[in-house]
Amino acid sequence: MPDSKKKVSIRDVASKAGLSATTVSLVMQGKGNLRDETRQSVIRVIEEIGYKRKAAAPKADTNEQFALIVDDIANPYFHALFEGLDGALEDAGHFATMLSSHDSVERQSKLLNNLWQSEIGGLVIVPASGTNRDDLRAFENRRRPMIMAVRRIGQSPFDYVGANPLVGMQIAADHLIKLGYREIGFIGGYESNHAYGERYAGFAASLMRHSIELRQEWICNGGSTRLFGQQAVAQLLSRNAAPKALIAYNDLVAIGAMDAITAAGLTPGKDIAVIGYDDIPEAALQPVPLTSVATPAEKLGQVIGQAILARKMEDSQKDPLDITYPPRLIVRASCGSSHPTSESEGDANAPII
């Protein structure tokens, strides 16, 4: 018998039935091309454990589908973001799906147009590289909410929830400088991506503030994958003068950089310091654990879910939300420390709004 004091969630039903929460939600809505046995199984579990759906709030649509569009569905950071979003929506009786733009503005536009013509409840988008306001102008009406996540596109009327990449990179560069590094490179990212501009600006500002030369031959952009990081750093190491420390656009690039350093017979954190960005789970699991700028992906997903639901109940003419979480630097062995520590800018548990 379940504890009568414990609130039974849709996840409990899914776990008991051996199905996904999305499948359970579809059964409850009477939607989806599901087998009768699946539907009956869900109904039996609901009756057995006493799950009760939340009463709908006044004027709110219930059991809706929302979509998250990201540029790279293979990036673990976006999986954590999706989990947070889906969990927040599920608590309200809704569910989410994740789609990939493959970092193509053209494909992103096709996805947005198709979704906007459907019965989608709202959209969350991590903009593809090169996205500008004109690419999204058709979606500026607030009949259904659309939220920018993680990356901005400059001035726009869309709500935004993310971290502060400029501050995050300043924290990373300042940490290396405090350790005594002066020969520092920056690798990864696309110049057409607004997030790259913010991260690079933070890096460059920190070096200039400390009167450290910004050497263009140590700036390598054009990719955000592990393979790009590996290839870019292998090329850097083939030159006569290589940097003594590297800051990467994201953790995948940083892990690739450490692959190249190791392949060259060197040791990350001893011969060349490396710092990543995002603090994905794999960062701490590397042979030399990766120092990384942490942005709380799952927490951001939860906040996005709460924001998009609130938007559906509010006056569409309200000013756009701007919710920014301060980043933290998680210090590990890849920049010379063997004991994890945390450096933060402000309160890492509270958003800057």
Length of the chain in terms of residues written: 353
Q: What is the pLDDT of residue 136?
A: 87
Q: 47 and 184, same structural domain?
A: no
Mean pLDDT of 115-131: 88
Closest CA to 336 of 286, 273, 245: 273
Who wins on pLDDT, 273 or 60? Answer: 273
- Among 93, 130, 129, which residue's Cα sits nearest to residue 312? 93
Is 16 part of any domain?
A: yes
The residue with tokens 């924001």 is 307
pLDDT at 246: 97
pLDDT in tens, 213-272: 999 999 999 998 999 999 999 999 998 789 999 999 999 999 999 999 999 999 999 999
Which value, to the nearest 10 degrees, does the dihedral of the CA atoms of residues 260, 261, 266, 267 take?
-130
Model confidence pLDDT, tens digit, residues 299-332: 899 999 998 988 877 655 567 788 888 899 999 9
CB atoms within 10 A of CB 294: 22
Per-residue pLDDT tens digits for 81-117: 999 999 999 988 999 999 999 999 999 999 998 888 8
In this predicted model, which residue has the larger pLDDT, 124 or 32?
Answer: 124
pLDDT score of 247: 97
Q: Does the residue 133 lie in any domain?
A: no
Query: What pLDDT, on the 0 to 100 scale, is given for residue 232?
Result: 96
Tell me what the mean pLDDT of segment 148-155 comes to. 83
- Tell me whether residue 100 is in a domain: no
Give the model confidence (pLDDT) of 156-190 as tens digits: 888 888 888 899 999 999 999 999 999 999 999 98
Task: Report the mean per-residue pLDDT for the chain.
Answer: 84
Q: Where does 135-255 show beta strands of DSSP type E?
A: 146-149, 159-163, 184-187, 219-220, 245-248
Domain match, 201 and 338 both: yes
What is the Cα–Cα distance from 151 to 160, expressed in whole angstroms?
A: 8
Q: Which range, 41-55, 139-153, 339-353, has the best average confidence (pLDDT)? A: 139-153
Give tens-digit pLDDT for 19-56.
777 777 766 665 555 676 777 777 777 777 766 555 44
Q: Examine the fold and report which residue of 37, 53, 69 is the final residue of a domain before the chain moves on.
A: 53
pLDDT, mean of residues 270-287? 94
Distance CA(126)–CA(108), nearest Å, equals 10
Place of tokens 């509270």: 350
pLDDT at 343 over 70: no
CATH number, domain of 254, equals: 3.40.50.2300
Q: Let me know: does 327 contact 294? Beta carbons within 8 Å.
A: yes
- What is residue 31's predicted lDDT score, i.e. its pLDDT? 55
Residues of the chain with pLDDT > 90, as a percent, come to 46
| Count of domains forming the chain | 2
Looking at residue 75, its pLDDT comes to 87
Whether 216 and 186 have beta carbons less than 8 Å apart is answered as no
pLDDT category of residue 341 using cuts at 50, 70 and 90: low
35 and 178 share a domain?
Answer: no
Q: CA 297, 298, 304, 307 torsion: positive or negative?
A: negative
pLDDT at 248: 97
Q: Are residues 211 and 334 in the same domain?
A: yes
What's the domain range around 218?
165-295+327-344
Question: Does a structural domain hold residue 312?
Answer: no
Judgement on whether residues 208 and 340 belong to the same structural domain of the protein: yes
Find, among 260, 253, 256, the residue nearest to 234 by Cα: 260
Q: Identify the weakest region by mean pLDDT among 5-9, 173-177, 203-207.
A: 5-9
Residue with tokens 């935004």: 160
Q: How confident is the model at residue 340 (pLDDT cuts 50, 70, 90)?
A: low
Contact indicator for 130, 192 with CB cutoff of 8 Å: yes
> 146: helix, coil or strand?
strand
For the entire predicted model, the pTM comes to 0.69
* Under 8 Å between Cβ of 54 and 92: yes
CA–CA dist 119, 295 (Å, integer): 32
- Exposed e or buried b per residue across 6-35, where buried means at least 16 C-beta atoms within 10 angstroms of its C-beta: eebebebbbebbebebbbbbbbbeeeeeee
Q: In the prediction, which pLDDT does 352 show? A: 33
Q: At residue 60, does pLDDT exceed 50? A: no
The pLDDT of residue 193 is 80
Which one of 20-34, 51-65, 119-133, 148-162 scores highest in mean pLDDT? 119-133
Instruction: Answer yes or no: do 194 and 49 share one domain.
Output: no
Tokens of 102: 């493959």
- Find the largest Cα–Cα distance for the chain: 71
Task: Tell which of 28, 53, 78 closes a domain.
Answer: 53
What's the pLDDT score for residue 132?
86
Residue 349 lies in a domain: no
309 falls within a domain: no
Q: How many CA atoms lie within 13 A of 280 on its CB side?
A: 20
Q: Which two tokens stand for residue 15?
A: 């776990």
Does 169 lie in the same domain as 49? Answer: no
Alpha helices in 10-49 (DSSP H): 10-17, 21-29, 36-49
**Same domain (yes/no): 187, 333:** yes
Give me the CATH number covering residue 16: 1.10.260.40
Amino acid 206: pLDDT:
95
Asked if the structure places residue 79 within a domain, the reply is no
The answer to whether position 272 is within a domain reads: yes
Average pLDDT rounded to a whole number, residues 200-211:
95
Burial class (CB in 10 A: 0-12, 13-18, 19+), 224: buried
Tokens of 130: 């090169």
